[in-house]
């Protein structure tokens, strides 16, 4: 069955949510997750591209939805961001992914945008490289679990008591160290009810948001006189025991990242005759590369078996 490429207009959020879950799986996502994603990523309905069956009516039936490329762009930014590319299993391998990227690139170029950036997990880098995208940075998301003897309800009340502060200027010295960071635009669009700026110890500022069961650190800033590992430990000590804490966007070759991955927690059960048990505090939850497509160049180096 052939396909057409359209904007996202005319397709409801519920239908798009079911399409996304058909592509990526439902997982343990909270209700309303896709609508929240669209809002926080600043997804532009006209720049984004939807693949539908050829000849589909204006109100597209769900069985005629094949895939999408979501595009967001912050005001005044010449760099646009992919908020997700997906194609249903039955339509993969026929060039639909390539067509979605090419169509989005054309729309962005017509808007005067200079580049499209995607965040590619390792298994997708080859696909994007064949489309002419090149790696500009590599990043990690690290996962650990909180150590505080408080309830999640207690944490939610604490978050409600701490207002969300602007990304920049942040309430920090100008020379503060940025341990990890997402994007200023994503933070600005995170609903205040779900976000807070915490100071787990003097000289440490964390922009955090609740993401289902987890606490996401969208940005962590540390005064230059402090040890970043101590700062992270202080944040874990403010997070309920067992709650996932995610540090997003760390540099994989940073000495801080390396030190976090070497850290152990020590389990002591009180019995002096029992060997001490050690377990890794942080582990890598996600690896991704920021890959950029300059929009002045053509997608002319695409080989077969794309998308």
pLDDT above 60: residue 139: yes
Helices (H) and strands (E) in the chain, counts: 8, 14
**Domain check: are 158 and 274 in the same one?**
yes
Q: If you average pLDDT over residues 180-193, what whole number do you get?
A: 94
Q: Residue 283 falls within a domain, yes or no?
A: yes
- HSE, side-chain direction, 13 A CA sphere, residue 169: 5
**Domain check: are 177 and 103 in the same one?**
no
Better pLDDT: 132 or 304? 132
Per-residue confidence at 303, pLDDT binned at 50, 70, 90? very low
The helix/strand/coil state of 57 is coil
Q: Residue 122 falls within a domain, yes or no?
A: no
pLDDT above 80: residue 304: no
Q: What is the DSSP letter of 168?
A: S
Instruction: Choose one of 56, 86, 117: the last residue of a domain.
Output: 117
The total number of structural domains that make up the chain:
2
Instruction: Choose one of 117, 151, 186: the last residue of a domain.
Output: 117
State the DSSP string of 8-29.
STTS-HHHHHHHHHHHH--TTP
Q: If you average pLDDT over residues 256-260, what whole number do you get?
A: 95
Q: Residue 125 falls within a domain, yes or no?
A: no
pLDDT of residue 143: 97
Q: If you average pLDDT over residues 176-194, what whole number do you get?
A: 94
**Domain check: are 219 and 273 in the same one?**
yes
**Domain check: are 164 and 237 in the same one?**
yes
**Domain check: are 171 and 261 in the same one?**
yes
Dihedral of CA 161/165/170/171: which sign? negative
Boundaries of domain holding 110 = 3-117
**Domain check: are 108 and 156 in the same one?**
no
- Assess contact for 301 and 130: CB atoms under 8 A: yes
Q: Residue 134 falls within a domain, yes or no?
A: no
- Which of 62-66, 96-100, 169-173 comes out lowest in average pLDDT? 169-173
pLDDT above 90: residue 30: no
**Domain check: are 230 and 265 in the same one?**
yes
**Which residue do the tokens 């609508």 mark?**
35
pLDDT of residue 148: 93
Q: What is the DSSP letter of 231?
A: H
**Domain check: are 68 and 153 in the same one?**
no
**Domain check: are 172 and 251 in the same one?**
yes
Better pLDDT: 26 or 116? 116
The encoded tokens of residue 58 equal: 């204006």
**Domain check: are 159 and 267 in the same one?**
yes
Q: Between β-strands 115-120 and 195-198, what pairing exists: parallel, antiparallel or unpaired?
A: unpaired
Residue 31 to residue 270: CA distance in whole angstroms: 42
C-alpha distances in Å from residue 246, one per residue of 25, 212, 217, 243, 272: 21, 12, 6, 10, 34
Per-residue confidence at 271, pLDDT binned at 50, 70, 90? low
Q: Global pTM?
A: 0.87
**Domain check: are 54 and 156 in the same one?**
no
Better pLDDT: 12 or 303? 12
pLDDT above 90: residue 163: yes
pLDDT above 80: residue 172: no
Q: What are phi and psi of 33, to 5 degrees?
A: -65, -35
Q: Residue 135 falls within a domain, yes or no?
A: no
pLDDT of residue 48: 97
What CATH number is attached to the domain comprising 111? 3.40.630.30
pLDDT of residue 268: 44
Q: Residue 131 falls within a domain, yes or no?
A: no
Q: Residue 305 falls within a domain, yes or no?
A: no
Q: Residue 87 falls within a domain, yes or no?
A: yes
Q: If you average pLDDT over residues 224-235, what whole number do you get?
A: 94
| Cis peptide bond upstream of 243, omega within 30 | no
Q: If you average pLDDT over residues 203-218, what whole number do you get?
A: 94
For the chain, give the percent of residues with pLDDT over 70.
Answer: 90
**Domain check: are 215 and 260 in the same one?**
yes
Report the chain's mean pLDDT, rounded to a whole number.
Answer: 89
């Amino acid at each position: 069955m052939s396909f057409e490429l359209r904007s996202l207009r005319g397709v409801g959020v519920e239908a798009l949510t079911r399409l996304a879950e058909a592509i990526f799986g439902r997982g343990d996502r909270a209700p309303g997750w896709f609508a929240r994603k669209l809002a926080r990523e600043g997804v532009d309905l006209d720049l984004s591209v939807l693949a539908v069956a050829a000849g589909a009516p204006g109100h597209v039936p769900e069985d005629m939805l094949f895939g999408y490329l979501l595009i967001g762009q912050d005001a005044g930014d010449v760099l646009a961001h992919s908020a997700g590319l997906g194609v249903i299993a039955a339509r993969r391998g026929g060039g639909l992914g390539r067509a979605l990227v090419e169509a989005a690139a054309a729309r962005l170029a017509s808007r005067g945008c200079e580049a499209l950036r995607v965040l590619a997990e390792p298994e997708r880098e080859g696909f994007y490289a064949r489309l002419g995208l090149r790696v500009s940075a590599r990043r990690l998301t690290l996962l650990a679990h909180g150590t505080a003897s408080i309830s999640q309800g207690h944490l939610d009340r604490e978050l409600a008591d701490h207002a969300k502060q602007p990304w920049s200027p942040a309430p920090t010295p100008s020379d503060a160290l940025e341990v990890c960071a997402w994007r200023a635009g994503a933070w600005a669009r995170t609903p205040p009810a779900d976000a807070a700026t915490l100071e787990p110890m003097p000289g440490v500022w964390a922009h955090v948001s609740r993401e289902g069961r987890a606490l996401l650190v969208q940005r962590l800033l540390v005064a230059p006189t402090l040890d970043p590992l101590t700062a992270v430990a202080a944040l874990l000590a403010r997070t309920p025991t067992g709650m996932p804490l995610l540090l997003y966007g760390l540099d994989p070759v940073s000495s801080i990242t390396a030190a976090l991955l070497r850290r152990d927690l020590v389990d002591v059960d009180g019995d002096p005759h029992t060997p001490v048990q050690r377990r890794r505090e942080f582990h890598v939850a996600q690896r991704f590369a920021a890959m950029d497509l300059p929009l002045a160049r053509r997608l002319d180096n695409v080989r077969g078996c794309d998308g």
